[in-house]
Each structure stands twice: as C-alpha cells, then as structure tokens.
Amino acid sequence: MNLLIIGAGGHGKVVEDIAIQTRKYETINFLDDNSKEDYLRFKKIIEKNTRDSKTKDSFYSGVHVSYDLIFGKTSFTIQTGVYLWQRAKDFQPIYHRFGLKYRFSEHWMANLTLKTFWAAADFAEWGIGYRL
C-alpha cells in the first residue's frame, strides 16, 4: 500500500513517523511546495548548526511589520518579517505569522499564531498574556 502525505512540514513528518511505525506502507511520498529532500536537507543543516554551535547561534534575529484587525475583544494579526541573521545560511529568510488574539479582560489575553515560510507552516504558537 502507498501513502501520500499532503505537506512536508512538521505535522507531515509526524504523520510519516506514525506511518513507518505501523509498517503498512511500502512507499510514503509527500505533496508539498518543497520536496522531502529539501525538508531533510534543511533539517540536517539546522541540527548540525545547533549541535556544533554555541548557545548564541541557536537564535534568529529579524524585523517584521504587523497589522492587527480588531473586532471587539478579538483581533486577527498579520505579520511579515525577514531574518537579519540566522543559523542556517540557505534557509528561507522571509516569514509570515497569522494569528488570533482574544482579550478576556482589560489585562488578560490569549493567542494562537501560525508562523509560516510562504505556504509551508513552520510552527504553531499559543499563549496567555497579561498586559500592564
């Protein structure tokens, strides 16, 4: 049996790991704007740079512009940014963040954000905050 996974990002890799453990699939392929080989190459670069570097090399530095569309207590956040310095030299320098923020009161809020490199999701972020 064959398996086609849509998206070669983090969640696609989790699905692949589960599929490998089930031992039901002869071939596992990805349908993504980046190939599985690109994903694995970038993953190796990041792992090697993280493992071989000092702590300061584990951080990215960048700038972004942001816009919040506010509907009462809920706001939709759109950000576009560029890394000024990054640990993987040939990694995508432009990123986007899309998210929702909800204010429970004047000070307390919660958010859910997705960071992407163009159309490929990088990670999801959630949080609870207190505004002074």
Q: Which tens digit of pLDDT belongs to each residue from 54-83?
A: 544 556 778 999 999 999 999 999 999 988
The model's pTM is 0.53
**CB-based burial, 98-115: b 16+ in 10 Å, e otherwise:** ebebebeeeeebebebeb
**What are the residue ranges spanned by the domains of the chain?**
2-56, 58-130
pLDDT at 108 over 90: yes
pLDDT value at position 13?
Answer: 78
pLDDT at 28 over 70: yes
When comparing pLDDT for 86 and 71, which is higher?
71
